[in-house]
Amino acid sequence: MMIEIRGNVEGEEVADAVILGVGADRAMDDAGQWIFERMPRLPHLMDEAEFTGKPGQILSFAGAGDVPYHRVVFVGIGAEPDAEEVRRAAGSGARALGKWATVATTLHSVPIEGAAEAVGLGFALGAYTFMRHKSEPKPSLISTLVLLGADEAAVGEALRGQTIATGVGLARDLVNTPSMEKAPEALAQIAREIAERVGLRIRVLDESEIAAERLGGLLGVSLGATNPPRLVELRYEPEQAKAFVAFVGKGIVFDSGGLSIKAAEGMETMKTDMAGAAAVFGAMQVIAELGLPVKVLGIAPLTENMPGGSAMRPGDVLEIRNGKTIEVLNTDAEGRLVLADGLSLAVEERPDLVIDVATLTGSCKVALGEKIAGLFGADEPAELVSEAAEAAGERVWHMPMPEDYRKNIDSDVADMKNTGPRWGGAINAALLLKEFVGDVDWVHLDIAGPARASDSEHYITKGGTGFGVRTMVEVARRMALR
């Protein structure tokens, strides 16, 4: 998608369509007023639709005859829009205008910091579609975003937003891809292509190297699958890095539950179980493209969780990379097993901060719903990541990790067991992960809910959301400022 500047809303054939932000009580900027005055039936139609400019409202009209646009879309941004409101407005506009090639807006001049980046990000995300498996694909036809009356700085900002959206789109594509097309080696190959394209170092461990490196959690989960596991390590090492952050993403390319097999319904969306790994790939691509002065290590343990004849069994004991042992009582609690190895590897390199991102527990989805991720960690790193997430427009909630819950995962035979009581399931999982981070600052994001959306809204398209990419990029940006 191209981003261009053009003079103002009045020109002939500026664009096919225009998106106009409307504040509370139908407050509009000059462009909006110019259009409004030339479409005589608008006040009546807005009354009828009860359109006042509330956030989330959207009204779309044919402009033909009155104004030089085929479509005019008004989007509510409320009384005091923030960056997220602008992202959502741009995204709603893009989703409504998929039939048109060139779309103009003035949303970048909403008087807040970062408005232009928010427009570039929200607009590009809203134009996202996944049509690879449709015999008659109907992708969004949008090819150009026109920023009316903008300066070069605004275009630069909007392009940064678009760069972030492309990384989110990569993660969405990987999540939406059927599991049969994303075996661990296939995903590793995609990681190699990303690394080649944006300039990352990459190391891919195959099954014998995974065994030689004593990654017993990843190896154990992989035993029931025919497709062999991989572990991907991506490295971004700019000169003069200001900080060092590591990301670990859960990469279960399909979660059947293993021998503790899921019911059919629970499996329907389990191609999503590599959303953490996908987000790590997306974030690393963006961070490299933006050239942020932060060293980044990205780790993705990749495997299927399948119930084959050589699968791990309830009661089996696995030894993780850092030497601790886990009794597997439920093979469906597999994410924590592969993350234990990933986290062990990450902390060996002593980063300033480790963040893991994982579709870890149904329990977290029950607690926080589909739109909010559980965030676990000590207060200081948790605050850094929470603030970054909030600024980036991803919703998280800081969850407790009470020490007296640790006995929930005491094992009779090993250092711990991989399941506790049903109650507090997301907390029990986080407490297990904590055993593998030592004294390194660490934050765990349980994205079981927000990794996929069951409906489209504003810049979200139903399916994989790419959740986590924007938070990781924003954390890297903030660490670059320290």
Residue 172 interacting partner from Mn ion, ligand BES, Zn ion, none (CB closer than 5 to 8 Å by kind): none
262 is catalytic: yes
**Please, which residue, 358 or 475, has the CB nearer to Mn ion?**
358
Candidates 425, 450, 464, 466; binder of ligand BES (CB under 6 A) is: 425
Segment 234 to 253, residues that bind Zn ion, using CB under 5 A: 252
Residues 349-368: x where in contact with ligand BES by CB under 6 A, - otherwise, as a string: ----------xxxxx-x---
Question: Measured from the CB atom, is 92 or 361 closer to Mn ion?
Answer: 361
Cβ neighbours, 10 Å, residue 341: 28
What's the min distance (Å) between Cβ of 305 and ligand BES? 7
* Other CB atoms within 10 Å distance of the CB of residue 358: 33
255 sits near Zn ion (criterion: CB under 5 A)? yes
Residue 86 identity (one-letter amino acid): V
147, 155 Cβ separation under 8 angstroms: yes
When binding is defined by CB under 5 A, the residue of 255, 304, 341, 356 that contacts Mn ion is: 255
Residue 260 CB burial class (10 angstroms; 0-12, 13-18, ≥19): buried
Per rule CB under 6 A, is residue 475 in the interface with ligand BES?
no
Stretch that binds Zn ion, among 198-206, 266-274, 321-329, 439-447 (CB under 5 A): 266-274
Residue 144: beta bridge partners?
A: 2, 102
The count of chain residues that interact with ligand BES, using the rule CB under 6 A, is 16
Check binding of 419 to ligand BES (CB under 6 A). Answer: yes
Radius of gyration of the chain (CA): 24
Least distance to Mn ion from the beta carbon of 253, Å?
Answer: 12
Task: Out of 335, 342, 374, 463, point to the residue binding ligand BES (CB under 6 A).
Answer: 335
Beta carbon nearer to Zn ion, 173 or 255: 255
Interface of this chain with Zn ion, residues 314 to 343, rule: CB under 5 A: 335
- Of 234, 273, 233, residue with least CA distance to 251: 273
Q: Give CA–CA dist 269/254, Å, rounded.
A: 9
HEC letters along 202-261: EEEECHHHHHHCCCHHHHHHHCCCCCCCEEEEEEECCCCCCCEEEEEECEEEEECCCCCC
Closest-by-Cβ residue to Mn ion is 332
Min CB(269)–ligand BES separation in Å: 7
CA 40 to chain centre: 42
Q: Which is nearer to ligand BES, 295 or 365 (CB)?
A: 365
Contact range with Mn ion by CB under 5 A, out of 173-181, 215-223, 247-255, 275-283: 247-255
**Residues in Cβ contact with 292 at an 8 Å cutoff, skipping those fewer than 6 apart:** 238, 473, 476, 477, 480
- C-beta of 258 vs 377, nearer to Mn ion: 258
Please give the backbone phi and psi of residue 269, each rounded to the nearest 5 degrees, phi first: -110, 15
**Residue among 48, 477, 468 nearest 247 (CA):** 468
CA distances (Å), 316 to each of 124, 223, 260, 321, 459, in order? 47, 12, 13, 16, 44
273 touching Zn ion, by CB under 5 A: yes
Task: For residue 109, count other CB atoms closer than 10 A to its CB.
Answer: 19
Residue 372 in contact with residue 397, Cβ under 8 Å? yes
Contact positions with ligand BES (CB under 6 A) in 242-271:
255
By rule CB under 5 A, what string of x and - marks binding of each residue 173-192 to Mn ion?
Answer: --------------------
**Residue 150, SS3?**
coil
Integer Cα distance of 246 and 343 in angstroms: 9
Cβ at position 397, least distance to ligand BES in Å: 16
Q: Name the catalytic one among 87, 160, 336, 365.
A: 336
Nearest to 103 by CA among 131, 139, 69, 154: 69
Per-residue binding letters, 343-362, with Mn ion (x by CB under 5 A): --------------------
The span of 36-44, 73-81, 123-131, 333-341 binding ligand BES (CB under 6 A) equals: 333-341
Q: Taking CB under 6 A as the rule, does residue 162 contact ligand BES?
A: no
* H/E stretch holding 196: helix 184-198
Phi, psi angle pair for 174, to nearest 5°: -65, -40
User: Using CB under 5 A, which of 16, 207, 304, 332 touches Mn ion?
Assistant: 332
Tell me: does residue 448 bind ligand BES (CB under 6 A): yes
**Interacting residues with Zn ion (CB under 5 A):** 252, 255, 273, 335
Catalytic residues: 262, 336
**Interacting residues with Mn ion (CB under 5 A):** 255, 332, 334
**Interacting residues with ligand BES (CB under 6 A):** 255, 273, 330, 332-335, 359-363, 365, 419, 425, 448
